[in-house]
């Protein structure tokens, strides 16, 4: 999971200029301010988000690009329509508190507004880029990240410094209190995003093992055949002193083209584990 400062002035200016351009003096109102109204350029916003996220998903850290497989995620969901619902996000992030206002509080304005704050449907500070949640084409469709979350409350993890950690076994956890009660039911928000599903834990475990070797990114990305994969696993992983008995089966499961390609989408974790362990 990536931590963001959300301070790209170009992106802030884009939203400001967009809002100003939707003000119609003859009727003293804003028109076309919605996220889905067509005037708001989602590809442009996606580009800003991808640049600051180094082209990785805000949640699972998978590599993503400016295409249909990448989605814009609202930290405060568009479905939020009351001030009370905003407050839990504001309590955890000053950036949101200082820059966000309800869409429906902004849109009906009869005088031109000065920004910030920005309406939460189109506010750059409230938008991040996420993968579509697909890990394998044949199974586990939409099982993590924003599609798993839907419109449920999730703490603004990406805006809170030093709150996300990964364990040796690939488990992700947050150092802030991530257990919230919704309609009498308590749930853990990391689990609610399904970021600890076994597939993702296995991928991160492999990267933890690779981080303990001297293998390079070039060697990993240039591997294109099954023999290449097996050579890397043999030379670097099977001799890894941090490997345990159960890792043998885990390594075997990635010695095929499909699993290797998926593993390479998560190269983010090589540097993460090398820098943190």
Alpha carbons 178 and 137: distance in angstroms, whole number: 30
Alpha carbons 42 and 230: distance in angstroms, whole number: 41
- Quick one: pLDDT at residue 185? 46
Contact 255, 233 (CB under 8 A): yes
11-67 pLDDT tens trace: 999 999 999 999 999 999 999 999 998 899 999 999 999 999 999 999 999 999 998
Alpha carbons 113 and 256: distance in angstroms, whole number: 56
Lookup: tokens for 221: 């990305």
- 10 Rama class: left (phi>0) / alpha (psi -120 to 50) / beta: alpha
Alpha carbons 5 and 97: distance in angstroms, whole number: 14
Alpha carbons 143 and 152: distance in angstroms, whole number: 15
Place 181 in a pLDDT band, splitting at 50, 70 and 90. Answer: low
Q: Which helix or strand (DSSP H or E) is residue 209 part of?
A: helix 198-211
Residues above pLDDT 90, as percent of the chain:
79
Residue 118's beta-bridge partner residues? 100
Length of the chain (residues): 277
- Quick one: pLDDT at residue 157? 94
Contact 14, 92 (CB under 8 A): no
Q: Which helix or strand (DSSP H or E) is residue 24 part of?
A: strand 23-24
C-alpha separations of 114 from 25, 109, 174 in Å: 15, 11, 36
Rounded to two decimals, the pTM is: 0.92
- Quick one: pLDDT at residue 239? 85
- Quick one: pLDDT at residue 142? 58
């Amino acid at each position: 999971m990536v931590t963001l400062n959300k301070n790209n002035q170009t992106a802030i200016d884009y939203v400001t200029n967009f809002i100003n351009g939707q003000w119609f003096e003859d009727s003293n109102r804003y028109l076309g301010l919605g996220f889905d109204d067509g005037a708001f350029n989602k590809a442009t916003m996606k580009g800003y988000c991808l640049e600051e996220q180094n082209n990785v998903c805000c949640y699972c850290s998978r590599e993503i690009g400016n295409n249909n497989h990448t989605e814009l995620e609202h930290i405060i969901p568009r479905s939020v329509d009351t001030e009370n619902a905003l407050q839990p996000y504001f309590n955890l992030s000053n950036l949101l508190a200082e820059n966000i206002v309800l869409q429906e509080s902004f849109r009906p304005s009869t005088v031109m507004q000065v920004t910030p704050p920005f309406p939460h449907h189109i506010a750059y500070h409230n938008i991040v880029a996420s993968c579509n949640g697909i890990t394998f084409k044949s199974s586990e469709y939409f099982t993590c990240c924003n599609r798993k979350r839907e419109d449920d409350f999730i703490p603004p993890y990406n805006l809170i410094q030093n709150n996300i950690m990964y364990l040796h076994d690939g488990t992700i956890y947050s150092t802030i209190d991530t257990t919230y009660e919704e309609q009498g039911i308590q749930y853990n928000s990391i689990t609610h995003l399904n970021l600890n599903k076994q597939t993702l834990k296995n991928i991160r475990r492999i990267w933890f093992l690779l981080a303990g070797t001297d293998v390079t990114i070039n060697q990993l990305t240039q591997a294109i055949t099954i023999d290449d994969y097996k050579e890397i696993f043999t030379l670097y992983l099977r001799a890894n002193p941090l490997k345990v008995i159960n890792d043998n089966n885990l390594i075997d499961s990635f010695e095929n083209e499909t699993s290797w390609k998926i593993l390479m989408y998560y190269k983010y974790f090589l540097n993460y584990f090398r820098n943190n362990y």
